[in-house]
């Protein structure tokens, strides 16, 4: 509730004004909600796996999302950094991880990424407006969650993606899961710069 109030206090005040101010006040609040930035991430593919930390050499699990970042509002969004939580692991916040490899291995698929640093939402300076959705990837990792737990019931998983804007204010990026199913044949998605190969056919 406190997050809702802090993010929408202008709208709440405008609503009060609208009640007493008639049509002009109502128009102003409609315009406010229409123009307000609304960041969405449409997941096209998710792969989970494990990797070694390049510094500590400890094992970490990772989640690699490929998808489209878009803004439904009229005002551009300049996210400074993103944070990921999984609702079944409430006390674990996954760390941002740079995508430094062009290939990542999951339980049943291998994903190949073209120019990964040029599509890494956690690294690139971003500006997202209504007319220019961005195609790319997020990677997050943790050493607090076993890989077996991370891959179990993955289709039912609920993600919470939040970001800090340039002022440091935390906001929610709505996640829409539009993951495509991968059969036994390799498939590629040029706009995302990825190709996915079933593990049994990977050489």
Q: Where residue 58 falls among pLDDT bands split at 50, 70, 90?
A: confident
pLDDT of amino acid 32: 44
Mean per-residue pLDDT, 112-122: 94
Burial of 128 (0-12, 13-18, 19+ CB in 10 A): buried
Task: Write down the pTM of the prediction.
Answer: 0.79
For residue 113, pLDDT beyond 70? yes
How far is 72 from 39, CA to CA, in rounded Å?
6
Residue environment code for 135-164, b if the CB has 16+ CB neighbours within 10 A, otherwise e: bbbbbbbbeebeeeebbeeeeebebebbbe
Question: What residue segments make up the domains of the chain, in order of their start?
Answer: 1-36, 38-201
With beta carbons less than 8 A apart as the criterion, state whether 186 and 195 touch.
Answer: yes
pLDDT of amino acid 29: 46
pLDDT of amino acid 47: 92
Average pLDDT value for the chain: 83
Which of 12-21, 153-162, 180-189 is most confident?
Answer: 153-162
Q: Where residue 87 falls among pLDDT bands split at 50, 70, 90?
A: confident
């Amino acid at each position: 509730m406190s997050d809702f109030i802090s993010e929408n206090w202008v709208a709440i005040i405008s609503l009060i004004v609208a009640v007493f101010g008639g049509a002009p006040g109502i128009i102003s609040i409609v315009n406010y909600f229409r123009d307000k930035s609304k960041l969405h991430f449409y997941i096209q593919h998710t792969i989970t796996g494990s990797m070694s930390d390049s510094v500590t050499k400890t094992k970490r699990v990772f989640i690699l999302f490929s998808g489209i970042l878009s803004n439904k509002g009229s005002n551009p969004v300049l996210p400074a950094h993103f944070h990921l939580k999984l609702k079944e692991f409430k006390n674990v916040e996954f760390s941002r991880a740079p995508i430094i490899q062009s290939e990542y291995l999951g339980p049943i698929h291998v994903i190949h990424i073209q120019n990964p640093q040029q599509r890494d939402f956690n690294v690139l300076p971003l500006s997202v407006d209504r007319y220019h959705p961005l195609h790319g990837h997020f990677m997050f990792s943790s050493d607090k969650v076993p890989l077996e737990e991370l891959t179990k019931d993955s289709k039912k998983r609920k993600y919470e993606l939040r970001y800090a804007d340039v002022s440091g204010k935390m906001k929610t990026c709505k996640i829409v899961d539009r993951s495509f199913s991968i059969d036994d044949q390799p498939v590629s998605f040029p706009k995302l710069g990825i190709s996915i190969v079933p593990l049994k056919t990977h050489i």
